[in-house]
Every structure is written in structure tokens, then in C-alpha cells.
Chains A and B, each alone.
Chain A
């Protein structure tokens, strides 16, 4: 149980384009989903927290107009990187948590490369 999928696993795009990443909880209802970014040899940095049916809460320094998050259902959240630039190249990882549970479960991650 507690499986989270992400799609795509890898994406290469040109500078200025937008990229959408999907995060799905496959066998549980995710009332909360988190989006993280990880640069090489660095730790996970929380970008935003999203609760189903409400607006995402962004961490300080994360541009909400650049990183659009939608949590439309209890099993799906999407992150759209708008007008991507090379500095947005990173490993994006989502995680999901059910209700009042302590633990979060991670998706496999999406490696974004912006040329």
C-alpha cells in the first residue's frame, strides 16, 4: 500500500516552455500533497503544500505564479513549471499524506532539464 506515482519521470524542454508534472496516490486518498525540489548533492526543499480543493501554500521564496499547483482531487496533484529556464532544472518530487497520518509517501520523482 501507500504507492505514489509521478509522471513523467524525466523531461527535457526548451527554455520558455511550460512543463506539467502529475502526482497520483494510487491506493489511498491523499488529503495533503507536498512538492519538493532537490538540486544535486543538496537536500529536499519544500516548495509548497496543497490540500485537496484549496489553494496551495507556498514556501518563502517560491514564486506561486511560476510554479502552479493544482490539487483537484484526493488522488491527483499537478505542478506546472511555467516559462521554464535552465535554473529550474532540478529533481522534483511529490509526496502524499492521508488525513492525520504522520508519514508522507514519496513519488519516484521527475528530473527536469531545461535547455
Chain B
């Protein structure tokens, strides 16, 4: 079992819709959880992080964490074609970061 698992996609959503990206992790000792966006050929850029159970909102993005289910998700509201990218989930464990393989999102105009 991989430490951090994501569906590789692609996930296709129409412009203006809500995109829902999911991530599960195996280590219950994980403390912090991160979502990054990576455009092709570029390095990842941080969208947001969360470390408490529940929801955390930042603009069009909402991260949701459920430690009991070992599940973290990212919702993107009012999806735009510019949101088309690969979304990486990362988990911090003992001061280092473990990344999932990413979910490719396509927002259709």
C-alpha cells in the first residue's frame, strides 16, 4: 500500500463546476496535509495546507480533513480552464513530505 494515494485521473469537469479531488494516507501519525498544483513542466505551487479535522477555506479552494478515515480532499469551486493541472497531495511525516502521484484535472471550457 502506498503511503499517499490519489486517483491519477484525468478528472474532467465543466467550467464553473466544483472539482473534487481526493487523497488517502496510510500513516495515522501524519500531522499536516498539503495540496499543491503542478502545471506541466513546472514545479509545484502550494495551494493550502490543513492539520485539523474539518474544513479550511481559502478563496475558491476548500480542504477537508478526516483523520479517522485517513482522508483529505480538495474542492475547487467555480472551476476555470486555468485550473487544469495536476494536483498533488502531500503528507508531512517526521519533518519530511510524502507525495501522492497526483490527480490530473481538466476543466472544459
B96:A34 contact, CB within 8 angstroms: yes
Find A104's partner among B42, B97, B100 (CB 8 Å cutoff): B97
Chain A positions near chain B (C-beta within 8 angstroms): 32, 34, 42-46, 49, 93, 102-109
Q: How far is the CB of B48 from chain A (nearest CB, A)?
A: 9
Find B51's partner among A42, A44, A102, A108 (CB 8 Å cutoff): A102
Find A102's partner among B42, B44, B49, B101 (CB 8 Å cutoff): B49
A108:B43 contact, CB within 8 angstroms: yes
Q: Which residues of B sit under 8 angstroms from A93, Cβ to Cβ?
A: 43-44
Q: How far is the CB of B77 from chain A (nearest CB, A)?
A: 22
Across the A-B interface, how many residue pairs have beta carbons closer than 8 Å?
Answer: 41
A43:B43 contact, CB within 8 angstroms: no
Interface centre among A42, A43, A103, A109, by most B CB within 10 Å?
A43
Q: Which residues of B sit under 8 angstroms from A34, Cβ to Cβ?
A: 96-97
Q: A42-B101, A44-B44, A102-B32 are in contact. List 17 more A-B contacts (CB 8 A).
A: A32-B95, A34-B97, A44-B88, A45-B99, A46-B96, A46-B97, A49-B96, A93-B43, A103-B34, A104-B46, A104-B97, A105-B46, A106-B36, A106-B45, A107-B43, A109-B42, A109-B43
Q: Bin chain B's interface residue count.
A: 20 to 34
Q: How far is the CB of A56 from chain B (nearest CB, A)?
A: 12
Q: List 10 A-B contacts (CB under 8 A).
A: A32-B95, A42-B101, A43-B99, A44-B88, A49-B95, A102-B49, A103-B46, A104-B46, A104-B97, A109-B42
CA distance A34 to B96 in the complex (A): 8
CA distance A24 to B72 in the complex (A): 31
Closest to B89 in A: A43
A43:B102 contact, CB within 8 angstroms: yes
CA distance A32 to B96 in the complex (A): 10
Assuming the A-B contacts A43-B100, A102-B32, are A108 and B92 also in contact, with contact meaning beta carbons closer than 8 angstroms in the complex? no
Q: How far is the CB of B88 from chain A (nearest CB, A)?
A: 7
CA distance A102 to B102 in the complex (A): 20
Closest to A32 in B: B95
